[in-house]
Amino acid sequence: MPAWAAALSGLVAGAVALGVAQIVAGLIDPGAAPVVAVGGAMVDATPAGLKEWAIRTFGSNDKPVLLGGIVVVLALIAAGLGLLARRRTAYGTLGLALFGLVGAAAALSRPDAGVVHVLPSIAGAAAAAWTLSRLMRRAMGGDEEEYVAASRAASRATGRAADQATGATVLAAHAPAGPSSGERTRAATVGEERPALPPVMRAGGGPGTGSGSALYTFDRRRLLTGAAAGVAVAGVAGLGGRLLSGSKDAELARRGVAKMLPRAARPAAPIPAGADLRIPGLTPFVTPNAEFYRVDTALVVPSVDPARWTLKIHGLVDRPVELTFADLLKRPLTEADVTLTCVSNEVGGPYAGNARWLGARLADVLREAGVRREADMLLSVSDDGWTCGTPVDVVMDGRDALLAVAMNGEVLPEAHGFPVRQVVPGLYGYVSATKWVTEIRATRFDQEEGYWTPRGWAPRGPIKTQSRIDLPHDGDKVTTGRTTVAGVAWAQHRGVDAVEVGVDGGAWRQARLADVPGLDTWRQWSLDLDLTPGRHTISVRATDATGYTQTADELPPAPDGATGYHTITVTAR
Ligand SMILES: Nc1nc2c(c(=O)[nH]1)N[C@H]1C(S)=C(S)[C@@H](COP(=O)(O)O)O[C@H]1N2
Ligand SMILES: [Mo]
């Protein structure tokens, strides 16, 4: 068999593995699909530096890039296994079994895994092993049924039906010169797995010579049709799996919830008309849900049924409680404008968004549970096992820390935590904003760690005062004379008191500040500059209501948030 054919057989077997695994995962849990499980395990192994690099390089495409990378690696390995199988079928089978085990182990290692999560990988590997050996046989002679049928026909033709059990006798029946017993033995041992085909089945057709090397003839057409069938099976299974795991249910559930969303018992004040300066190119004050940044470790968005959702509050509490979604909606709901920020955001980066959230106040729920004095951390857990450690004192100090069910007047989008997520003004998302939250355990920082802490991020993550220039863009050519510089600044729960702009290292100039509805959102700013012809650097810095002014010292995002001024260079003509 030519090398390319072996590699192709391996590839097709690999595709069948993924397709079959996908459809089995669709029946169990989309997270149990081997590629997703392996990807998830890789994400979990990600230290701070690698996460920063991935976010810097791929932005919010980090997940497709990771999954795509895994698929490419798997394809190379599958082709390699095909080549190994050319030497010995058992090598290919062994390799596939090994990969099934890796997938199964990865699936088992996921925080929300059960024993059934090994099934997609195992079914996939088994299907691949079967496909590989079948394809190779097919390419080298014919498949079993055709073979048996042909042997029967051959036996009948020679009136030796009693001998039809072994290929050697079939071959013997066809051998032109009437074989000796020695020839029979030789023919029977030519193939390792099964007896050789009768010559009528061979690609070239016509009677064979009975010599060993001619017994297996590579048939390209048969390989290609077999491969096409394999690809079709893989595609159909893969698509079926996607449909099964589909977010359809969650989408329906979201629509159902939309009808039962209550009004806010404590509505937020209307957003002041002056909160949005409406400058083209400036980040809008309210980030539309579809444009809101997304950062999480979930390679498939957890699909949580609100009818079965509960939130367990336990640990260092006097009265553990378990709330249903209906319980949560019965509570007086609070509306709050809060800007979320990711600790991985670089100075000038895009990982911040502002929304109007609707939810139950977390502090009220915790008071009912009676959080004990010794507890200083709330370890929240999401449906997919991600965890986050939030300081108790921050949640209890009166700010609008919410168990949110809606975002900008819509039911929480799935990617943003449907049906319930946490929102805590003033803390980076990794220590506060648990999406798909199902559990809150009152505990202690000296006893537990949230997901990102052992991976190189600080246990506590208050948001640092930051400012960003949205226009012009770095590298832009602008006209001389008046140029508008504008952007946003944030210092959640402290409030932004001033934004200053510096040109070419000269004196700082006060920018105009937009209105804000409260202390927990970002604040737009703008300033008109008169630029002389040539290159200019423009920097920005904010001062918060505690009097703290951003430092020029540049620090990377890890471990507790980037610092430094956002600076751009433009050329005026
Ligand atoms: N379940 C879960 N919740 C999570 C995360 C996660 O990985 N899993 N990431 C957190 C981080 S790091 C951030 S910055 C915010 C981002 O929220 P968003 O995706 O709605 O913008 O979600 C937080 N909540
Ligand atoms: Mo984050």
pLDDT tens digits along 399-421: 999 999 999 999 999 999 999 99
| pLDDT less than 50: residues of the chain | 159-214
Q: Which H helix or E strand runs over 326?
A: helix 325-330
Environment class of 147 (CB within 10 Å of its CB; exposed 0-12, middle 13-18, buried 19+): buried
Between the CA of 343 and the centroid of ligand 2 the distance, in Å, is: 5
Q: Is the CB of 292 under 6 A from ligand 1?
A: yes
Between the CA of 356 and the centroid of ligand 2 the distance, in Å, is: 19
Atom of ligand 1 nearest to the CA of 436: 1
Q: Which ligand is nearest to the CA of 452?
A: 1
Provide the token pair at 536: 């200019």
Contact predicate 500/510, CB 8 Å: yes
Write out pLDDT tens, residues 349-366.
Answer: 999 999 999 999 999 999
Q: Is the CB of 414 under 6 A from ligand 1?
A: no
Q: Is the CB of 352 under 6 A from ligand 1?
A: no
Between the CA of 435 and the centroid of ligand 1 the distance, in Å, is: 6
Could you say which DSSP state residue 334 is in? Answer: E
Provide the token pair at 20: 């079959």
Q: End-to-end CA distance of the chain, in Å? A: 67
Between the CA of 414 and the centroid of ligand 1 the distance, in Å, is: 12
Q: Give residue 60's pLDDT.
A: 77
Between the CA of 490 and the centroid of ligand 1 the distance, in Å, is: 19
Q: Is the CB of 355 under 6 A from ligand 1?
A: no
Between the CA of 475 and the centroid of ligand 2 the distance, in Å, is: 28
Contact predicate 283/488, CB 8 Å: yes
Q: Is the CB of 523 under 6 A from ligand 1?
A: no
Q: What is the CATH number assigned to the segment(s) 268-455? A: 3.90.420.10
Between the CA of 25 and the centroid of ligand 1 the distance, in Å, is: 24
Q: Give residue 117's pLDDT.
A: 93
Q: Give residue 363's pLDDT.
A: 98
Q: Is the CB of 435 under 6 A from ligand 1?
A: yes
Q: Which ligand is nearest to the CA of 382?
A: 1
Atom of ligand 1 nearest to the CA of 296: 7
Contact predicate 242/24, CB 8 Å: no
CA distance linking residue 332 with residue 438, whole number of Å: 20
Please tell me the residue having the least CA distance from ligand 1 atom 24. 434
Q: Is the CB of 296 under 6 A from ligand 1?
A: yes
Q: Give residue 49's pLDDT.
A: 86
Write out pLDDT tens, residues 48-106.
Answer: 888 888 888 888 788 888 999 999 999 999 999 999 999 988 999 999 999 999 999 99
With the most atoms of ligand 1 within 8 angstroms of its CB, the residue from 287, 292, 295, 382 to mutate is 295
Q: Is 546 left (phi over 0), alpha (psi -120 to 50) or beta?
A: alpha
Q: Where are the alpha helices (DSSP H) in 140-194?
A: 144-158, 167-174, 181-188
List, in sequence order, every residue forming a beta bridge with 314; answer none if it has no partner.
441
Contact predicate 342/295, CB 8 Å: yes
Between the CA of 407 and the centroid of ligand 1 the distance, in Å, is: 14
Q: Is the CB of 383 under 6 A from ligand 1?
A: no
pTM of the model: 0.83
CA distance linking residue 282 with residue 440, whole number of Å: 38
Q: Where are the CATH 3.90.420.10 domain residues in the chain?
A: 268-455
Long-range contacts of 258-261 (CB under 8 A, 24+ apart): 258/410, 258/411, 260/329, 261/329, 261/358, 261/405, 261/406, 261/411
Q: Give residue 167's pLDDT.
A: 38
**Is the link from the previous residue into 280 a cis peptide, with omega within 30 of 0?**
no
Q: Is the CB of 349 under 6 A from ligand 1?
A: no
Provide the token pair at 94: 């062994």
Q: Where are the CATH 2.60.40.650 domain residues in the chain?
A: 466-572
Atom of ligand 1 nearest to the CA of 428: 14
Q: Which ligand is nearest to the CA of 558?
A: 2
Please tell me the residue having the least CA distance from ligand 1 atom 1. 435
At 367, which amino acid appears?
R
Q: What is the CATH number assigned to the segment(s) 466-572? A: 2.60.40.650
